Each structure stands twice: as structure tokens, then as C-alpha cells.
């Protein structure tokens, strides 16, 4: 009979576990809705890879979590706090090998690591700081702290002040009226 194979298939479908059918359908819909379905993996514009993990406390709006976070958490056996940044030793954010990941105590420590790395690359001395005025690196003893984040040469600061005085003559006169003229 011509109709036999078709009937057999429909019988199989009827006998199948209905819950499996639902699961399959759900999964299929997720794929359908996601035009670039690639097994729950994606990248951000900095080349950092993410994995779909909607129940993770640090999942993005789309339900993805950075792989470097997942890898560190797997090693630690617990969730990481937001205040625990992860540094990529070679500064390649797509290299998530265990040996390339360093857990930092704070964002300021992470910032320090990057500052030292920039100094090392720029001048060969990780302890040197950059003068905010002439943009040259120098040993800390040759620089003064300008503000919380930056340093300046004494001489560069004098030049900066002279420039500033020329730019704001009125303001300057007001403060030094007694000595003026």
C-alpha cells in the first residue's frame, strides 16, 4: 500500500514522548529567533568572547556572560564579585587561557597594572610616570604629583603656569594687585 510508510511515521510521532517534542520545538524556536545562532557563543567589539548563560548574575541583557569570568569562576568554584576585575596578561582580551588571566583586588589595582604596562612598553621602566604636560616618561623623583591621576615636571609646571597667566591676565591681576604695575 502506498499510504503505509506515512501512516507508520504518524504512529511513531503519536507514541513519542510529548515532552521531548515540546523541548525540541522550544530549542528550534530559539534558533529560529536568533539569526546568527552559533551554539550560544558571541563576541563583543573588543574581541572578548561570551557564552549564553541567562541565569548567571552577571549576564548581559541578551543573557551572555564573558568567558573570562566563567573560566575564573570555574577555577574558584564560586561567582566573582563585580569589584574583582580580570586582567589579561598579554592584553589580548580574546586569549582566555588560564595562565593569561589575573584576578585583581580592585579596579584601581587593575588600572595600576595597565599604567605600568604602558610605561614598560613606552620607555622600558614600569615604575616611571608620564608628565601630563610634555607627555614624556620620567623617573618618579623627577616628577611632582599634579592630581590623583597625573604627574608633572617642575619645569613643565612653570611653563604651564606662565601660559595660563598669559591666557587669563585679568584673573591674575586681581590676585596680585598689590604687587602689580
Interface ranges with Zn ion (CB under 5 A): 87, 131, 133-134, 153, 156
Nearest approach in angstroms of CB 22 to Zn ion is 44
Nearest approach in angstroms of CB 136 to Zn ion is 6
Q: Which is nearer to Zn ion, 46 or 61 (CB)?
A: 46
Max intra-chain CA distance, the chain: 117
C-alpha to C-alpha distance for 16 and 8, rounded to whole angstroms: 12
Nearest approach in angstroms of CB 104 to Zn ion is 8
Please give the radius of gyration of the chain, using alpha carbons only, rounded to the nearest integer.
30
Instruction: State the residue for C-alpha cell 550560544.
Output: 40
* 3-class SS of residue 7: helix
Q: Which is nearer to Zn ion, 67 or 133 (CB)?
A: 133
Instruction: State the residue for C-alpha cell 617642575.
Output: 154
Nearest approach in angstroms of CB 72 to Zn ion is 13
Handedness of CA 16, 19, 59, 45 (dihedral sign): positive
Q: Which is nearer to Zn ion, 71 or 134 (CB)?
A: 134
Q: Which is nearer to Zn ion, 43 or 160 (CB)?
A: 160
Amino acid at each position: 500500500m502506498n499510504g503505509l510508510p506515512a501512516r507508520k511515521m504518524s504512529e511513531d510521532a503519536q507514541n513519542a514522548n510529548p515532552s521531548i517534542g515540546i523541548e525540541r520545538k522550544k530549542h528550534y524556536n530559539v534558533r529560529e529567533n536568533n539569526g546568527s545562532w552559533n551554539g550560544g557563543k558571541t563576541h563583543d567589539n573588543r574581541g572578548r568572547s561570551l557564552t549564553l548563560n541567562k541565569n548567571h548574575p552577571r549576564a548581559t541583557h541578551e543573557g551572555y556572560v564573558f568567558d573570562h569570568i566563567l573560566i575564573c569562576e570555574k577555577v574558584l568554584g564560586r561567582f566573582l564579585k563585580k569589584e574583582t576585575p580580570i586582567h589579561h596578561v598579554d592584553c589580548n582580551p580574546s586569549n582566555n587561557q588560564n595562565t593569561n588571566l589575573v584576578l585583581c583586588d580592585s579596579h584601581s589595582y587593575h588600572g595600576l597594572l595597565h599604567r605600568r604596562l604602558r610605561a614598560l612598553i613606552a620607555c622600558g621602566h614600569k615604575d616611571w610616570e608620564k608628565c601630563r604636560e610634555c607627555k614624556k616618561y620620567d623617573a618618579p623623583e623627577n616628577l611632582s604629583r599634579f592630581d590623583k591621576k597625573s604627574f608633572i615636571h617642575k619645569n613643565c609646571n612653570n611653563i604651564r603656569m606662565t601660559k595660563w597667566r598669559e591666557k587669563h591676565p585679568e584673573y591674575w591681576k586681581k590676585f596680585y594687585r598689590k604687587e602689580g604695575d
